[in-house]
Each structure stands twice: as structure tokens, then as C-alpha cells.
Structure 1
Amino acid sequence: MEVIINSILSQMQALLSGSQLKTLKNVLVCTLSNQTCSAASDAEADLLTLFLTAKEVEGCSPKTIAYYKSTLEHMTTALAKPYTQVTSDDLRAYLSGYEAQRHAGKVTIDNIRRIMSSFFSWLEDEDYVVKSPVRRIHRVKCAQVAKAVLTDEELESIRSSCTCARDLAIVDVLASTGMRVGELVGLDIADVDLDGRECVVTGKGNKQRPAYFDARAKLHLSEYLEARTDDCPALFVSLKGEPRRVSIGNVEARVRELGRAASVERVHPHKFRRTLATHAIDKGMPIEQVQKLLGHAKIDTTMRYAMVDQNNVKASHRKYLE
């Protein structure tokens, strides 16, 4: 058996890199010996670890890394074969089975496809596989559903339901900046320039950008900060017990409570972000500037957030085409 393996490796030496030859040798040993090769299994785990480390170096958040890890570990267990032997048909069957068994939506399936594409493209770039099997799997078409945004009346109702300066400041900052809830809770007092009505937020990938708020947000932020007597550096702190930075869960829960008190359905921090994007587009802000405002790396993401008001489309049709 060893003679056969060495003969194959020598013939493939001109076509494969050192790492690929090593992987090929492991596969041949496992296949020809008809046994499960522990060394190959360890190699698979090592490759996944190396990939996750690479994503961490690129600046992916711990939450994203954990999502990548769980998704790829599930795929690896389900396929039960070395990455070098995975084919496009294997991955299509996996995605189809996942969708059927878990009743997953098209968006979820496309997210899994994107993660697999990132992983196998990395394996290809690092010469662990000759060609990524995901190349032949096209993007999953997802229905574009126009998600609801907050009306001016609903925003005012939510503001009226606030019972403390902190909550009012949180609502106004979310509504006027469109920042992510994770960016909101990460803000320090030192990051805010009240006179300039702007602040520096740290977004995905630890990228910093300026965010701008309106006069109403400035007024309520000033009132909230003037009432603070603690020395916690965080901009928004808990109301009970020793002041400490609020968490994402704290803000999400509080915003839901404010929505229920105002009789507004499905209120969450991200809805303020979508509302800002939609209103900005409706009022004529160039999409490139909305992209910068929201901190999106790709303009396609901005377009998914901003659903143009149909009334504006109707008015434009009458103005330009009638």
C-alpha cells in the first residue's frame, strides 16, 4: 500500500503544493486502509480552527466567530468526509436537507451558503483544496419583504411613554443616528460631542465612524448627563443598583416595553435604524451617503434596509411620466 501511495504522490507532485500532497496522502491512507483516520480527523479540526483564527484576525466579532463555528461544525458532522472530498452535490444535498428538516427560510440557507463559501474559498487560497466546491452553488434567491418602519406619530407616542431622561435619550439617539444597538451600548461619555451634535461609534470589525444626532437628541442627552452623579464612563448606564454600562439585552427589553406602553407593535432598536434609512432615502439623500451614515461596507446592504415609500414612487410617476 505504501508503494502505491508514494507512486501516486510522485505523479501528483508537479500539480499539487506541499500542503495538498500531505492532505492527499492522508486521504489515500484512510481510503486504502478502509479505516477512519484519526490524523485526518484532527487535520479537519485544525483547518476549522485556523480558519476561525483568520476571521478573528480580520476583525470579525466574537458573536460572528461563534456563528461561523457552529455552522461549519454542523456541516462537517453532517457530511462526515474530509474537506478535500466534499463536492458541490454534497453541499447542495446538505442545504436541501437542512432546509427541510429545520423548516429554515431562504435567508438562513443563503447565510449558511455564504459561510461555506467563505470557508472553502479560504481552503482554496491556502492550498488545502484545489477548488472550492461552493463556486458552483449560486446565491439563494430570497423574497424581498418590505418591513415596517415607525411613523412620525408612533415615534412621538414612544417618546411620550418614556418615564425617565435616560430612556428618552436612548430613543432620540437611536432615532436620529440610526446606529446599531451594539454601537449604542458601547458609547462612552467621552465619545460624544454635544456642541457638534456628533459622536464616534465603533461598528462591525472595530471600524469607527462619526454618527450625527439632532437638536432634540442633544437636549435630552444634556438633561440626562446633567442628572448623572456617578463616575461610570459609559454613556448609558443601568437605573437600578450600582451604575454600570447597559447591555444589548437591557436596551432591547426596555424598547419593547416602551413600544407596548405606546401601543406600537414590534418595537425594537433595529426598527429605528431601518426607519432612519427609509426616511433618508425618501427625502432625497444619496444612497452613498446613507451607506456612510449606517456604516455599511456594501451598498447592497443599505438598499435592503431602505424601503422607499410607495407614495413617493406614485408622486414621482405622476411628476415625470404623466
Structure 2
Amino acid sequence: MVGNHTVESMLKAMQNTLNAHQLKRLKGVLSANLAVETNTVEDNENKNLLNSFLTAKELEGCSERTLKYYESTLAHYIRETSAPLTQVDTEQLRAYLTDYQDTHVVGKVTIDNIRRILATFFSWLEDEDYIVKSPARKIRRVKAPVRVKEIISDEDMERLRDGCETIRDLAMIDLLSSTGMRVGELVKLNRTSINMGERECIVQGKGNKERKAYFDARAKLHLEEYLRERNDDNPALFVGLCGNHARISICSVENRLRSLGKKLQLPRVHPHKFRRTMATNAINRGMPVEQVQKLLGHVKIETTMEYALVSQSNVKASHRRYLG
């Protein structure tokens, strides 16, 4: 890599040929051009490292959505940092996170998500021997206040069902609410994934891990009715309502539920709310957390335990039973 030593060597070689004024002008031209060249090399190296990281994560089975989140977060960091990725230190990372929070006015959860992605990236650089030690190791998790997250009440769930204008949407809502599957898992389902007799389906979860999910009788009836109405040969379980009946996308499901919620004047209707509602109801009705973990496809039981904080109705009932 070029630098000050190279510039000084060139000037020394020309000092007997050029006068002081000419040497000064030459120094300015060399410094400017070599700095641009150096920055270009560093930018290319940073981009190559990012692309290698994304390729590695794709091979590990990360979803397209996760990869895009990684790419946008890390690309923003690379644009904002002046140091090569292999020379970043802990203080630079802390300064970036602090500045991001101040300039973007975001909450602690968002900052911790960025910290987590940076930590994953620099740990990968360490594992691949690009750096000796990750500068993100010393940056602790950003603690955010634990908020009581909303679920869909039984009454609102019935309003959503009654508000569906198509049997497809009704089948989607029933499947989301009874299985608790992720929206990314829902859109990957094929007709062959469904076993109507056993009321179960094979779901492809995170990291391409398969698991069984179970649905209730109402979901079965509406799925059967929806599939009877289909006149296309697309293997996807859920497809668009018009055009070439292509497999439905995550955005389409999210937009459909959001529009339905707005029409019915219900607060923040989105796919993950059905998952949280299913898990909360299971825990409140006494299902062992280990079984809820298996149903949801969580790797760590701590993730499942977060759902136990959603509702305090079971705590209130226990208090009245044992202490009231």
C-alpha cells in the first residue's frame, strides 16, 4: 500500500531536477492522487470482505431476508468508517453506535441489533484469520426496557376471520394462528407439505431445518375449501389471487394483514403477532415451555421464555388461586 514514505522517496529523487516551488506542487499532486488510490484499494478490500461474509452466511442457510439485513447494516457501517475493516478498534465501533443513535433517533433495540450484526461480522473476520481479535468483543449487549407485547384477543381474532374477503386469506389466518409458524415458513409451504389427515405440515425453518407444525380442525376445513377452489398447477400452498398465481411473498402476506387490520380498526396486525398469540395462549394454558419451544422451532429456550412475559393473566389467576 502506498503512503507518505513513497511520496517522500519520489520527492527526494527529483530534488536535483526541480526547484522548491516545483517540488511543493509535485508533493501536492502526488499526495492527492496516492490518497485516492489508497482509499480505492481500502474500499475494494472492505467490499470484498463483506461479500465473502454474505456468501459464508448464505452457505450456512441464512434466509434472503436476513442476508439483506446483514448487507444493508454492514454496508452503512463501511460507508461511514474511514478505517479498513481489518484495523477497526473497539472505540471506533462504540463511537459509530453512539453517533448512529444520535443521528437516526432510534431505540435501544435497534442499536443492539446493529451491535449484534457487527459482532457477528467481526467474529467471522477473526475466525477466518483476517484479524487477530474481534473489536466487538468488549461491547456489551445494549439493555432495552422489557415491554409488554400485544397479542390478538379472541374477539379480535374472530373479527379478523369475519373480515376476510377470500377463502385464501381465511386459510392463511387459521394456519398462522393455530401453528404459530413464521411468515417466512408460511410462504415456503407447498401443497405436498400438508398432511390433512394428521392435521400437520412440514415447515422449513431457520437454517433450513425442518420440523412438524400442527393445525386445528378449522384450519383444515378452510385449507381444503381453498385448495378445491384453486384452478392452477402451482405447487405452492398459497398463491396470488390474480395474474399468473405465483407463490405469495412475505410482503404480500404482511400487506394483506395490515390492510385487513386497518379496515377493521384493529391495532398493528402483522404475521408475528399470530405467532406470539399462539405461544402466549399455549403457555397460559399450561403447555410445558419445552414443548412450546419445539412447536415454534426455537434453538434456545430463552427465546421461548420471552413469550412468557407477554401476558400476566396467568400470574393474576395464580395469585387469586393461591394468595387471594
TM-score bracket for this pair, using the shorter chain length? 0.7 to 0.9
Say if 1:229 and 1:311 are closer, same or farther in 2 by CA, change over 3 A. Answer: same
Three-state SS of the structure 1 residue aligned to 2:130 is: coil
1:98 paired residue number: 100
1:125 paired residue number: 127
**Alpha-carbon contact 1:274-1:306 (below 8 Å) kept:** no
2:279 paired residue number: 277
2:59 paired residue number: 57
Deviation at 1:44?
2.9
1:82 paired residue number: 84
Say if 1:297 and 1:189 are closer, same or farther in 2 by CA, change over 3 A. Answer: same
Greater shift in the superposed pair: 183-192 or 39-48: 39-48
1:312 paired residue number: 314
2:259 paired residue number: 257
Say if 1:230 and 1:125 are closer, same or farther in 2 by CA, change over 3 A. Answer: closer
Amino acid at match of 1:273: R
2:197 paired residue number: 195
1:293 paired residue number: 295
Aligned length in residues: 295
**Alpha-carbon contact 2:150-2:310 (below 8 Å) kept:** no
Amino acid at match of 1:152: D
Separation in 2 of the partners of 1:213 and 1:181?
15
Rg: which structure is higher?
Answer: 2
Separation in 1 of the partners of 2:76 and 2:234?
42
**TM value normalised by structure 2:** 0.84
Deviation at 1:128?
1.6
1:10 paired residue number: none
Amino acid at match of 1:249: C
Structure 1, residues 78-128: CA drift from partner, whole Å, max 9, x if none? Answer: 221122331111111110000000001111111111111111111112222
Deviation at 1:297?
2.1
1:227 paired residue number: 229
Gaps of 5+ in 1: 1-25
Structure 1, residues 239-272: CA drift from partner, whole Å, max 9, x if none? Answer: 2233322222222222223323433222121111
Separation in 2 of the partners of 1:184 and 1:287?
23
**Alpha-carbon contact 1:179-1:273 (below 8 Å) kept:** yes
Identical columns (%): 58
Amino acid at match of 1:63: R
Amino acid at match of 1:177: T
Q: How does 1:159-174 map to 2 (within 5 A)?
A: 159-174=161-176
Amino acid at match of 1:154: D
Q: CA RMSD in A?
A: 2.0
Three-state SS of the structure 2 residue aligned to 1:133 is: coil
Separation in 1 of the partners of 2:263 and 2:49?
50
Within the candidate set 144, 147, 159, 1:145 is matched to 147
**Alpha-carbon contact 1:282-1:308 (below 8 Å) kept:** no
Deviation at 1:177?
0.6
Amino acid at match of 1:232: N
Deviation at 1:39?
4.0
Deviation at 1:300?
2.5
